[in-house]
């Protein structure tokens, strides 16, 4: 697909604001997720109270915010963003997250964040790809929301094998000792930015580490949550 600046990444129509990247018609037409648990982000009966799973065994993070399920059309854009090194997509995708955040800010239980980190790639993979997609998203969001961002706040110190083939327990073991926290955490309200959350094992491991070091609350913000 040829991309011309000033045209919507999805419908290729001219944009009212060139820097939006995705037109308002396409943004509104994104598939709305079903009611989801505000804590784990998975479908549940009520969108304002934690689901039964979270009441029994809450995740290490406190809330999750995402734009859509990992489905069309965002999954295709995310793949282009990640694997075709289309870094110009970052502000357009981050803006969709921003709209979601502005919506969440109006909710009574909104917790104003103090700072932001992104899920790191192992340096070998980052080097091969040339960029970290979560870092690009966090960069935009932190700038727009005037929130402190620690780009190297979480370091991946061990590569671990690819998570795709592993079950939940194996994923957890694979991630043990994979990260190190490198920024002041105690008492802070922290956001972890990722592009796609599937099983949540990576953000869970990071959230566990942050909580262990005294983080007050942790929000996970991502583009897509696999439902």
Number of residues near Zn ion (by CB under 5 A): 10
Cα 226 to Cα 24, 50, 222, distances in angstroms: 24, 18, 11
Q: Which stretch binds Zn ion (CB under 5 A): 51-59, 116-124, 167-175, 202-210?
A: 51-59
Phi, psi of 191 (to 5 degrees): -110, 135
Q: Which member of 7, 54, 145, 166 binds Zn ion (CB under 5 A)?
A: 54
Binding of residue 65 to Zn ion (CB under 5 A): no
Binding of residue 166 to Zn ion (CB under 5 A): no
To Zn ion, the closest distance from the beta carbon of 49 in angstroms equals 9
Mapped onto helix, strand or coil, the DSSP state of residue 132 is coil
Tokens of 173: 């073991």
Residue 59 or residue 113: which is nearer to Zn ion going by CB?
Answer: 59
Binding of residue 96 to Zn ion (CB under 5 A): no
Residue 15 or residue 185: which is nearer to Zn ion going by CB?
Answer: 15
- Assign 3-class secondary structure to 155-204: EECCCCCCHHHCCHHHHHHHHCCCEEECCCCCCCEEEEEEEEECCCHHHH
Binding of residue 197 to Zn ion (CB under 5 A): no
Tokens of 111: 């917790």
Instruction: Give the interface with Zn ion as residue ranges (CB under 5 A).
Output: 8, 10-11, 23, 26, 37, 39-40, 51, 54
């Amino acid at each position: 697909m040829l991309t011309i600046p000033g045209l919507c990444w999805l419908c290729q129509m001219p944009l009212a604001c060139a820097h939006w990247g995705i037109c308002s018609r396409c943004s509104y037409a994104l598939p709305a997720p079903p009611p989801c648990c505000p804590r784990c982000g998975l479908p549940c009966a009520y969108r304002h109270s934690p689901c039964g799973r979270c009441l029994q065994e809450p995740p290490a993070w406190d809330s999750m915010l995402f734009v859509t399920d990992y489905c069309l059309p965002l999954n295709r854009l995310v793949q282009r963003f990640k694997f075709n090194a289309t870094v110009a997509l970052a502000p357009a995708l981050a803006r969709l997250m921003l709209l979601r955040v502005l919506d969440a800010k109006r909710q009574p239980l909104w917790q104003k964040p103090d700072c932001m980190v992104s899920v790191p790639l192992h340096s070998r993979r980052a080097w091969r790809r040339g960029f970290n997609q979560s870092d690009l998203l966090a960069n935009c969001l932190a700038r727009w929301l005037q929130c402190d961002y620690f780009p190297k706040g979480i370091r991946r110190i061990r590569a671990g094998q690819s998570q795709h083939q592993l079950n939940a327990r194996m994923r957890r073991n694979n991630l043990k000792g994979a990260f190190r926290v490198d920024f002041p955490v105690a008492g802070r309200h922290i956001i972890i930015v990722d592009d796609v959350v599937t099983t949540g094992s990576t953000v869970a491991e990071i959230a566990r580490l942050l909580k262990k070091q005294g983080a007050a609350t942790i929000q996970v913000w991502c583009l897509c949550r696999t439902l």
